[in-house]
Amino acid sequence: MEDFGEKTTSRGFNRATQAKRQTGSSIKPIAILAPGIEEEVITASMVFDDTQTTFDDGSEGGYSPENYDGYLGNITVRRAVESSQNIPFVYMMELLTPKKSIDYLEKMGVTTLTEKDENLALALGGLDEGMTPLESAAAYATIANDGVYIEPTFYAKIENSSGKVVFETSQESRRVFSEETAFIVKDLLTEPVQGSKGTATYCKIDGIDVAAKTGTTNENYDRWLCGFTPYYTAATWYGFDVNETISYNGRNPAGLIWANVMTNIHSGLDDASFEKPDGVQTATVCSLTGKMASGICSNTYEEYFLRGTIPDVCTSHDFSGENTNVVQDRIQTEQDVVIEPATPVTDGSSQSNTENNNTTNQSNNVQNSQTNTSNSTSNSAQNINESTNNTSNTNTGQSTNTSESSNTTANENTTTENTNNTDDLETSESDTSSETDATSDLQEAN
């Protein structure tokens, strides 16, 4: 072929292990949620202001990321995960710091980061070089494996013709964060799948818990779906080697491939849920302020916390000047933690200003999608021997890897300063496809 040089190898470029791609928002769970909760700088109920913001990143103009489809005002971390709002995650990265985030990513096996990645754009996947699908899968498997990283491998052992083991693999493993942190992140990542505004609702598997996160980069160059169940972990990338925007009928092609492969390999398996460790505490919180709910809070839900990180009691709705209706039994744990009653608030101005996080209705964040054309998924230690196209089987404790592409020359989008990676373009309305719909779309893609 003219201008491409002579072909000297067969399939010499493995996209699953060698393609370093921008991750978009698929990096949020591993770069922010798990490290931030472990370091106790954020909780799942903490509230952030999801409005257009310019962050001080040391540059002259600052860093001004955007949401793809509108802003929601004050929202909890859980709500931000559901529809992948960008601004709250940049605030979280400020609290955690990019340096600390990179430390955790490297402990989860990510080797492709550079000094240029130590900036706020890391929160949204604006990377200097990018990450490979294999390393993304191994990092997600760290969450699935209760906080323990297990080095990926493509084989367990080699036997000769007589059955004698001539070589056996040795995998490095290490604890990166606690089992309790892992569970809270698992539960947060069910929101994109189960939430009414979720970006990965098409990934549901009947009877089995699914945790998933989408990723989309500028101009729809890269599409991702990374996630796991109690059985398997998989990461799928879809795009061109040479960046090109692709529309895919308003769907996320990486997500549809992930859903079809994972639905197939879970067929016939027993129902399974993510198990809550004894050390995780449960509290009823006010969804407007993220604080522990009082008897006056009308919009509440149950949230999970590391021991010692349950927030103070909400006083923002007590306009009488006396907050005496605070419940003693709002927190339920296996150890029956007792909470002392809160001291009544008497300063009316103080109570109305205690939280600046209580006024926003969580508006519909309908996300529309354009899509790309190549994928990869990565498989490990709970052993997947199925995939689509260029398949790589690995052994990372849990994982699968599938890879498909439309070109031959890698050319990562290396923009860092201006990378908004406005994830996620999935539309919760158009992506609520049944497994039958997803199968149909996959056949069209192939």
pLDDT tens for the chain, 446 residues long, are 456 677 788 878 899 999 999 999 999 999 999 999 999 999 999 999 999 999 999 999 999 999 988 999 999 999 999 999 999 999 999 999 999 999 999 999 999 999 999 999 999 999 999 999 999 999 999 999 999 999 999 999 999 999 999 999 999 999 999 999 999 999 999 999 999 999 999 999 999 999 999 999 999 999 999 999 999 999 999 999 999 998 888 789 999 999 999 999 999 999 999 999 999 999 999 999 999 999 899 999 999 999 999 999 999 986 554 443 444 344 443 334 433 444 444 333 333 333 344 333 333 333 333 333 333 343 433 433 333 333 333 444 564 444 433 333 333 333 333 444 444 444 433 343 333 333 333 333 33
The set of residues, in sequence order, having a beta carbon less than 8 Å from that of 86 and lying 6+ positions away, is 25, 65, 66, 67, 68, 123, 124, 420, 421, 422, 423
How many Cα atoms within 13 Å fall on the side-chain side of residue 81?
Answer: 30
d(CA 294, CA 316): 10
d(CA 388, CA 64): 38
Q: Which CATH number fits domain 15-272+367-410+418-445: 3.60.150.10, 1.20.140.10, 3.20.20.140, 3.40.710.10?
A: 3.40.710.10
Coil, strand, or helix at residue 392? strand
Give the global pTM: 0.75
Distance, in Å, from the CA atom of 267 to the CA atom of 281, rounded to the nearest integer, reads 33
Q: Where are the domains of the chain?
A: 15-272+367-410+418-445
Q: Give how far Cα 18 sits from Cα of 13, 62, 185, 393, Å.
A: 7, 33, 28, 15
Q: 70: exposed, middle or buried (C-beta count within 10 Å: 0-12, 13-18, 19+)?
A: middle
User: Which residue is it, tokens 């080699």?
Assistant: 158
